[in-house]
Amino acid sequence: MKIIKQIVGVLALLCASHAFGAPEAGKDYTPIIPPQPMHSGNKIEVLEFFFYGCSHCFKLHPLLSAWEKKMPKDVELIYVPTIFNPAWEPMARTFYALESLGQQKRLDDALYDAWNVQNLVLSDEATATDFVAQHGVDRKKFSDAYNAFAMQSRVLRGKQLQQSYNIRGTPTLIVDGKYAITALHPEDTIKVLNVLVDKARKERSSAKSGAARKQ
């Protein structure tokens, strides 16, 4: 009986692994038609559309951050702050300003905690400035970056990406301009992400081989 239980357990694990190893289009991810162009050169591009005040983004954040630290060298992860309404733009500007100052990674956790744990609403430049200043960011440098001439183009670019990929909720991950992952549990999101990155890699390799044969 013990041996039978062990066999059943192993088979269950194998079945679960097999089911997960082939995520279903329309269920675990959505194909993007038509695929969108990449901007990361030869790297497989992963975009995360997020908002610091989104509780689902907050739950995914630690897992995605851990994934980023171990992701393959041929992958690039790009964060895109989503702007569904004007009240969200200050957080997008905050993200880009901190990124330009080299402070975004350092304050990422603090910003998520501010919204989701401390219930702070950083919905304008003044409150955002006060918050980052409390975390060691120079007020003037932050304000200059927040209001820089180039900021509007970065915000506009984010909005264009959001529109191109028809983003309707956060977090949404886009893999290589071809596949969208959304509305999954954080652990499942990472699992599907790994499968789709591998899928994108194989598709790129196949495309290169096909192009080489035609030459």
Q: Name the residue range of residue 173's domain.
A: 30-200
- Over residues 19-57, the pLDDT tens digits come to 455 899 999 999 999 999 988 778 999 999 999 999 999
- Over residues 55-98, the pLDDT tens digits come to 999 999 999 999 999 999 999 999 999 999 999 999 999 999 99
Query: Could you give the CA distance from residue 67 to residue 107 in angstroms, rounded to a whole number?
Result: 18
- Tokens 């897992």 -> residue: 63
Residue 195 is assigned to a structural domain of this protein = yes
**Any idea what the CATH number is for the domain that residue 150 is in?**
3.40.30.10
pTM to 2 decimal places: 0.87
Residue 21 is assigned to a structural domain of this protein = no
Query: Could you give the CA distance from residue 187 to residue 94 in angstroms, rounded to a whole number?
Result: 28
In this structure, what are the phi and psi dihedrals at residue 48, rounded to the nearest 5 degrees? Answer: -115, 115
Query: Could you give the CA distance from residue 171 to residue 56 in angstroms, rounded to a whole number?
Result: 7
Number of domains in the chain: 1
Residue 19 is assigned to a structural domain of this protein = no
Residue 86 is assigned to a structural domain of this protein = yes
Q: What single DSSP character describes residue 165? A: T
